[in-house]
Amino acid sequence: MLKTFKQEHKFWHSAVLVLSGGMALALLSYVCFQFHVNPTTVGLLFLIVIVLVSLRVSLLPAALVAIVAYLCLDYFFTPPMFTLGMNQTLDYVAPITYLVIAVVISRLMSRVRKSLEDQKRAEETLRRSQAELAHVRRVMNMGELAASIAHEINQPLSAIVNNGSACLRWLAGDAPDIVEAQEAAQRIVRDGNRAAEVITRIRGFLKKTESEKSPLDINQTIREIITVIKREAVENGVDLLMDLASDIPPVLGDRVQLQQVILNLLMNGVEAMTSVTERPRRLSISTRKHDPDKVLVIVRDSGSGIDHESLEKIFDAFYTTKTEGMGMGLAISRSIVEDHGGELSVVTENGSGATFQFTLFRYQ
């Protein structure tokens, strides 16, 4: 359906151009005829028309204009007048020149147009795969992290439970074995510490993700990440609005980490609106100057908002309201923002969406 429409559109486009070419030739013929311009000059003037038309149309229409131009030249300008026939050198040279030029230019242009289209398509594909990659990487990191946490913590936990049961058994009965019970209790302490160590290590790992802070145009940073989420938004029927203040000073930050935070907030926004049908799904991101030395980034969705109970926990690790979420996104986002000296907070009104905002310090 789209293809026929496109072809039809192309046909009319060519027809209009060929007609304009024809009219230009007629006008030129009329003017030159009135002023008795010599045939060679007319032949060159016609060439201009042929070149201009060939630039815009395909092979056949270009050849058509070339033939019409030759017929005009032969009929009105080369003697004997008002007859068609091969009487002069120009009668041979003109049609050959016209056709060769029409063919060469229209072919060249179609090649140029095709390579431009290819390039555009390649860029689109690249952008799409980048977005997918970013998503996959996010999910993968979370998944790997979850698996390793589960395993590393599960071992000491089951040891603690076993030791606890053993300790109780050693103490029970008529002849409790205090020494065995003590040993079991000592192992409980040891394994509890081991579990805590694992947690500390994971915290360190989350923080470690090599923050490299440099002066940063936060608006540009946002624009870059918007291209990644655009498709996700379109597919979910979400209007993406950008309202980036122009008087924003550069901030000090790690580009990749901040993009991770922004992407996370935007993705959450998109996901929060999947069930919204009775009003427009609107996701906006804006930047504002805040205090003399801070910049504010605001992400607002028109989802169903966050209830009071969840509100207290949404920044906790492993807390999630999504069926497929890990509950790490906001926890990591908050730790990144805090690592930048800023604050990540949320305002919500039930039924009218949620607004997440964070501050960053300007670069001085």
Partner 1 sequence: MQDERAMVYVVDDDESVRESLESLIRSAGLRVSAFASAARVSGEST
- The CA angle 354-215-141, to the nearest 5 degrees, is 55
Q: Is 83 in the site for partner 1 (CB under 8 A)?
A: no
How far is Cα 51 from Cα 292, in angstroms, rounded to an integer?
A: 60
Site for partner 1 in 174-213 (CB under 8 A): 177, 180, 183-184, 187, 190-191, 194
Q: Is residue 266 within 8 Å of 283, Cβ to Cβ?
A: yes
The minimum distance between CB 148 and partner 1, in angstroms, equals 15
CA atoms of 235 and 271, how far apart (whole Å): 12
**Pick from 38, 115, 158, 227: which binds partner 1 (CB under 8 A)?**
158
- Select from 64, 67, 159, 244 the one that contacts partner 1 (CB under 8 A): 159
Q: Considering the complex, state which of residue 4 and residue 200 has its C-beta at the smaller distance from partner 1.
A: 200
Select the residue interacting with partner 1 from 156, 305, 329, 342 (CB under 8 A).
156
CB of 162 to partner 1, least distance (A): 3
Instruction: Indicate whether 87 belongs to the interface with partner 1 (CB under 8 A).
Output: no
Per DSSP, the three-state class of 327 is coil
> Which residue number, 10 or 190, has a Cβ lying nearer to partner 1?
190
One of 83, 165, 214, 350 touching partner 1 (CB under 8 A): 165
Closer to partner 1 by CB, 162 or 211: give it: 162
**Binding of residue 155 to partner 1 (CB under 8 A):** yes
Tokens of 25: 């030739």
Q: Which of 37, 51, 101, 166 binds partner 1 (CB under 8 A)?
A: 166
Measured from the CB atom, is 187 or 334 closer to partner 1? 187
Q: How many whole angstroms separate alpha carbon 221 and alpha carbon 26?
A: 56
Query: Cβ 191 to partner 1, closest distance in Å?
Result: 5
Question: Residue 135, Cβ neighbours under 10 Å: how many?
Answer: 15
Residue 163 interacts with partner 1 (CB under 8 A): yes or no: yes
Longest CA–CA separation in the chain, Å: 137
Distance CA 268, CA 140 (A): 17
CB of 174: closest distance to partner 1 in angstroms?
14
Closer residue to partner 1 in complex, CB, 44/161:
161
Residue in the structure block whose two tokens are 């993705």: 267
* CA distance between the termini of the chain: 57
Among 20, 58, 141, 162, binds partner 1 (CB under 8 A): 162
Q: What angle do CA 179, 181, 185 make, to 5 degrees?
A: 115
Smallest distance, Å, CB 180 to partner 1? 7
Rounded-to-integer distance, Cα 157 and Cα 155, Å: 5
**What letters, b where the CB count within 10 A reaches 16 and e where it falls short, cover 27-43?**
ebbeebeeeeeebeebb
Residue 130, interface with partner 1 (CB under 8 A)? no
C-alpha 115/C-alpha 97 separation (Å) is 27
346: which strand partners?
A: 356
Q: What is the CA radius of gyration of the chain?
A: 37
Q: What is the nearest approach in angstroms of partner 1 to the Cβ of residue 317?
A: 24
Strand 282-290, strand 251-253: pairing: unpaired
- Nearest-approach distance from CB 189 to partner 1, in angstroms: 12
Q: Rule CB under 8 A: which residues touch partner 1? A: 155-156, 158-163, 165-166, 169-170, 177, 180, 183-184, 187, 190-191, 194
